[in-house]
Amino acid sequence: MAGILLAIIGWDPKGWDHRFRTLAPQHDIRVWPESVGDPAEIAYACVWKPPQGLLAGLPNLKAVFSLGAGADDVLTGPDPPKAPIVRIVDPDMTMRMSEYVVLHVLMHHRRQRRYESQQRERLWRDHDQPPASEVAVGVMGLGVLGSNAAFVLHRLGFRVGGWSRTRKSMPGIETFDGHIGLEAFLRRTEILVCLLPATMETRGILNLTLFRKLKFNGALGGAFLINAGRGALQIDADIITALDEGTLEGATLDVFPSEPLPVTSPLWTHPRVTITPHNAAASMPRAIVAKILRQIDRCELGLPLEHVIDRKLGY
């Protein structure tokens, strides 16, 4: 029997608690903050945005499971846990993210925001419709989520490019890597999809300088941003400037430097911004708890954990 602590902020922990107790009645499930008990008895922590200091105060941790694909919230802070940090890799999440990316790429490509606003005015007006084969989409981050989204967009006929830290070869996708490849990647990209993790290297990368390098005179006649990676990647004020000066035609934002997005943010009311509440690819207890429990079994048997993040790289 292992002590498993759930520490979840910003999501309702009930579904997670219920799923863990249903699938693993043999384990000692505790929930922060009400039933932490003796910290020395906790072997595993399953967390989303854990409170500062909590993990550092668990002396016998064998592993920390981020309940999301990104583990930046576990790593940030002065005292990150010494135990291995495992992230979620799950086909359910991958599919959800690809759905989100396709939905919003098509929304910009097919000018859906314009038609919605015309509908409110009962306006019957057609807009230019370039074929997908003339539209260049660029995916920043070609990991588990980015590579699947890139392949699905390619199947839809878009001209897909992708950018990653290390070199990749992906059939049908034009790949770029590193600082040197970034410039060329941006110059060919009209719809920029960001699925990067938040690391020391990527924080703030979605800024005005970068937006100004995007291809604004392609088939769509303007550039678009879709960020479903992390809010820390983007500078909100730069997005607004880019929209107002015409560098960006539109933006879809699922993530924000401060979440929930403050009610005072001008992004809420910007006519060319589409906002979703950090749910591009939600973590579902139904899909994920069984996976974590299998990893705990592996750990108890002395087998290596899967999907452990690299602390130096931050993802």
Which of 133, 279 has the CB closer to ligand OXD?
279
Partner in contact with 141, chosen from ligand NDP, ligand OXD, none, beta carbon below 5 to 8 Å by kind? ligand NDP
Q: Which one of residues 17, 190, 249, 254 is an interface residue with ligand NDP (CB under 6 A)?
A: 254
Q: Helix or strand or coil: residue 47?
A: strand
Of 278, 286, 294, 307, which residue is the catalytic one?
A: 278
Q: Which residues of 210-240 are buried (b: 16+ CB within 10 A; e: fewer)?
A: bbebbbbebbbebbbbbbbbbbbbbbbebbb
Beta carbons of 141 and 163 less than 8 angstroms apart:
yes
Radius of gyration of the chain (CA): 21
Q: Which one of residues 283, 285, 292, 315 is an interface residue with ligand OXD (CB under 6 A)?
A: 283
Could you give the string, one character per residue 76-95, with x where binding to ligand OXD holds by CB under 6 A and - elsewhere?
A: ------------x-------
Which of 141, 222 has the CB closer to ligand OXD?
141
Tokens at 197, concatenated: 């993790």
CA distance 113 to 270: 12
229: left (phi > 0), else alpha (psi -120 to 50), else beta?
Answer: alpha
Of 96, 108, 230, 307, which residue is the catalytic one?
A: 230
Q: How far is CA 125 from CA 104, 115, 122, 219, in A?
A: 21, 8, 10, 19
DSSP string for 123-186: ---------GGG-EEEEE--SHHHHHHHHHHHHTT-EEEEEESS---BTTBEEEEHHHHHHHHH
Q: Which one of residues 214, 281, 296, 299 is an interface residue with ligand NDP (CB under 6 A)?
A: 281
Cα first-last separation, the chain: 30
Which of 39, 204 has the CB closer to ligand NDP?
204
Partner in contact with 222, chosen from ligand NDP, ligand OXD, none, beta carbon below 5 to 8 Å by kind? none
Partner in contact with 199, chosen from ligand NDP, ligand OXD, none, beta carbon below 5 to 8 Å by kind? ligand NDP
CA distance 308 to 212: 36
Residue 285 binds ligand OXD (CB under 6 A): no
Asked if 111 is an active-site residue, the reply is no
Which of 55, 255 has the CB closer to ligand OXD?
255
Q: DSSP H helical segments within the chain, as ranges?
A: 14-23, 72-75, 91-109, 112-120, 144-155, 178-187, 208-211, 236-244, 285-300
CA distance 241 to 263: 19
The span of 67-75, 109-117, 167-175, 203-211 binding ligand OXD (CB under 6 A) equals: 67-75
Which of 23, 287 has the CB closer to ligand OXD?
287
Asked if 278 is an active-site residue, the reply is yes
Q: Which one of residues 43, 45, 69, 86 is an interface residue with ligand OXD (CB under 6 A)?
A: 69
Q: Which one of residues 3, 13, 50, 70 is an interface residue with ligand OXD (CB under 6 A)?
A: 70
CA distance 211 to 238: 9
Residue 144 binds ligand NDP (CB under 6 A): yes
Length of the chain in terms of residues written? 315
Residue 145 binds ligand NDP (CB under 6 A): yes
Residue 218 binds ligand NDP (CB under 6 A): no
Output the smallest distance, CB 201 to ligand NDP, in A.
4
**What residue ranges bind ligand OXD (CB under 6 A)?**
68-70, 88, 283
Active site residues: 230, 278
**What residue ranges bind ligand NDP (CB under 6 A)?**
68-70, 93, 97, 141-146, 163-166, 195-199, 201-202, 228-230, 254-255, 278-281, 315
